[in-house]
């Protein structure tokens, strides 16, 4: 029996590699987005903590100005983070689309391979069935010739 060989195996491996790379890129993009969102949470926690401290510790106008400067810097950082988060979300969407496409291409190729395997098995079964039938026919003919020596 001959061995199954998928003629597009190299293409299948390439598509599998592309899908894996796209999945890795998506994971990296999601990780970056999560890190930025965590930074935003930390920034909000700093603001809440500082507001609590400010209400109990301001004694001079200079201290008030220092707190206001700090809050202005936190607000600027927040705006910067929001822009970066928006860009990171776009990167995640793009990476998701690329991965979905790569996954679909890989699935198409895997489905083709599966159909080829099914066709191969049917062909092999038909060949074996034909061989079995020929052997049976030969043996039946031999048996008949042994049973009827006059012919």
Q: Supply the pTM of this predicted model.
A: 0.74
In the chain the domains, ranked by start, together with CATH numbers, are: 10-147 (1.10.287.1700)
| Cα–Cα distance, 2 to 118 (Å, whole number) | 15
pLDDT for 151 beyond 60: no
Q: What is the pLDDT of residues 61-116, one digit of tens each?
A: 888 888 899 999 999 999 999 999 999 999 999 999 999 999 999 999 999 999 99
Q: Which two three-digit tokens encode residue 9?
A: 């195996």
pLDDT score at 138: 79
In the predicted model, what is the mean pLDDT of the chain?
91
pLDDT category of residue 134 using cuts at 50, 70 and 90: confident
* Contact residues for 36 (Cβ-Cβ < 8 A; gap 6+): 81, 84, 85, 88
Q: How far apart are CA 95 and CA 23, in angstroms?
A: 8
CA distance 44 to 63: 21
pLDDT of residue 95: 98
């Amino acid at each position: 029996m001959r061995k199954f060989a998928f003629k597009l195996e190299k293409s299948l491996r390439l598509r599998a590699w592309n899908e894996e790379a796209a999945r890795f890129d998506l994971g990296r993009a999601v990780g970056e987005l999560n890190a930025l969102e965590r930074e935003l949470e930390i920034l909000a926690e700093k603001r809440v903590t500082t507001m609590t401290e400010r209400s109990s510790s301001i004694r001079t106008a200079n201290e008030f100005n220092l707190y206001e400067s700090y809050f202005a810097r936190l607000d600027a950082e927040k705006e910067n983070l929001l822009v970066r988060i928006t860009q990171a979300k776009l990167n995640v969407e793009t990476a998701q689309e690329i991965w979905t496409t790569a996954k679909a291409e890989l699935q198409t190729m895997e489905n083709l391979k599966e159909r080829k395997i099914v066709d191969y098995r049917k062909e092999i079964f038909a060949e074996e069935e034909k061989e079995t039938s020929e052997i049976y026919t030969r043996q039946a003919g031999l048996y008949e010739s042994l049973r009827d020596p006059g012919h």
